[in-house]
Structure 1
């Protein structure tokens, strides 16, 4: 069970009688297109850059800088279910923001490791330190090029890495060549091809 910061939990409970203003923080680790090195970048839904401490999945804390002014939003929120349903999270960004351009054009974000944190605004300030909400990988990052007079956007589809692995189809075949790719001395499937083709009824002479 996830235990949230008391101030954050109180702001969520009070939203039923008043209102709520969420603050989203996205940390994505893409790959540099030239070197292949990790290219992490933090973006958030505020207007100014901010440096703060956030919780990592292992429970430790790390100080990060998140870039603002990119019109970041999580329009559908984060769905929580009690089964193995794969429900991706959608994060939208301004198409013309420099930080968004750096993320999707300056680096390769395919399967980029991503963390999403959230808290709320109260009285012009953050209610609490951002709380970890989602850990996943970027599955899609289409860039919508607008027509004249229209608005464009960047939409990141972030899937749970665990659910992606649980629902993925294994393309590996049970063959001698595949086994030897894993270990050259593995002879478990040496005769798999010939045995598969045999029609012998083993109980008969």
Structure 2
């Protein structure tokens, strides 16, 4: 699929602020600073569609982006950032949970993990939650330009084993710097969603 058009639609905190047009949605989940915004920008070939920050924890709202006037990408707040209060973490958690539970048009969840590290307890919990709720899931290991081929092979096994990744769920390594994996991700995520 070719992404010809991508636009920011709205930011939301509660269900009543979500878009009401009932377009199919793909949600992006991951720890703070794992590279959700960078991935969305790379997929859409837009440098500043999603705001990228060097400071973790900046995405505190749910951001909706319209792709090809056809479906939405949904950028959810990052989780697991240590330098915010427990109250703030709980608030972010509620924002994420409300969206995942209440969205009637969510088709697929993209879980981002850092390719350099073993998935965190939060990553494992999120993957298990996605499975429990029977969402189609794709796991993307970001920042792959920062590891060697040997490390990639080792880390792939660690990621799969730690998450207990199901055979039918894909794991793709991605570099926002080199755009490695972009075409594969676009085809995998969007091909069956695009209008014919």
Do they superpose with TM above 0.5? no
When normalised by structure 2's length, the TM-score is: 0.26
Greater radius of gyration (CA): 1
Q: Which has the higher helix share?
A: 2
Structure of higher RCO (CA pairs closer than 8 Å, 6+ residues apart): 2
When normalised by structure 1's length, the TM-score is: 0.25
Q: Which has the higher strand share?
A: 1
